[in-house]
Amino acid sequence: MWNLIIYDLQGLETLRKPVEAAPLVVGRDKACGIVLDSKAVSRQHARIVLEGDTPVVIDEGSANGTFVNGMLIEHRANLKDGDEIGVGQFKIVVRGSGAHSAQKAKAPESAAADMLDAQLQAIRSFRVESQSSSVKKSAVIDEQWAKVVPAMRTLQQKLAGDKRVLTFTIRPDGREVAVKVADSDSRLGHRSIVLTRDHPDQEYRAMLKIWLLEFGEHDAGFDDGEDAMRRFLQRLALSLA
């Protein structure tokens, strides 16, 4: 039997679920088999199923993607013992039955102490891995963002005389670009489009991404600077065309 061990933001084990033939849906919706209460998690973010003897994770078109061992999956990925599924800020560890057989055979009087030791080790390992992973990913995103800002400064100069562009600002620290453009189709008469390294909602900041924000639209996170700019310019072009 395969099991999923769910860890919260502090690295504490919060839940265990067996992987069975019936799909196990992971998401923010209360009807999901694994409920992860975070805005960074889609209502139905991913599902995990058994295909033969192999557990498989399938992304359900989530807004922020599903990761296996730190790598974003395109749609689906086969899983093995020890793999870590990343959903929002949560970690789900895949364990095969053999990984726990030795623990089950231990004498009852030592079981509690052994379980505590295992929990402490898991928490410490989680914290070290999370810190290391965050530092590495932050450096990658900063590198991507460094490509965005010069391109946005050039665009700012190009649109300086366009009366449809009401404001085009780049924050002094260079970590946010905001454009307000006139749009007669908008209820407000304009659209405000923001490209930023710092999501205003603290809950999202643990997800190291470049963020595209617009009132009335879903927030979109990107790992690639060019992808972020492309989506930003698509929205801007809709108002300028």
Report the interhelical angle of 108-158 vs 225-240 (nearest 10°).
50
Average pLDDT over residues 132-144: 78
Contact between residue 75 and residue 67 where contact means Cβ atoms under 8 Å apart: no
Alpha-carbon distance 25 to 46, whole Å?
Answer: 6
Question: Which residue, 152, 133, 150, 147, is CA-closest to 193?
Answer: 152
Residue (of 177, 171, 160) closest to 225 by Cα position: 177
Residue 190 one-letter amino acid: H
* Paired strand residues for 3: 18, 95
pLDDT in tens, 171-192: 999 999 999 999 888 888 899 9
**Is the model more confident about 9 or about 87?**
87
- CB under 8 Å to 108, separation ≥6 — which residues? none
pLDDT computed for residue 231 by the predictor: 93
pTM: 0.50
Q: Of all residues in the chain, what percent carry a pLDDT higher than 70? A: 86
Q: In what order do the strands lie in the sheet with 84-87?
A: 13-19, 2-7, 90-96, 84-87, 66-68, 71-72
Beta bridge partners, 59, equal 46
Q: Is 92 helix (H, G, I), strand (E, B) or coil?
A: strand
CB contact set of 55 (below 8 Å; sequence gap of 6+): 2, 19, 48, 49, 78, 79, 94
Q: Over 60: is that where the pLDDT of 158 sits? A: yes
> Which runs of consecutive H residues, i.e. helices, occur in 89-189?
98-104, 108-158
Give the model's pLDDT for residue 104.
Answer: 45
Of 66-70, 75-79, 127-131, the range with the lowest mean pLDDT is: 127-131
**What gap in Å lies between CA 59 and CA 49, rounded to an integer?**
12
Helix or strand run (H / E) with residue 230: helix 225-240
Dist CA 107 CA 122 (whole Å)? 22
**Of 98, 78, 93, nearest in space to 129 by CA:** 93
Dihedral (C-alpha) 54, 57, 60, 65: value to the nearest 10 degrees? Answer: -160
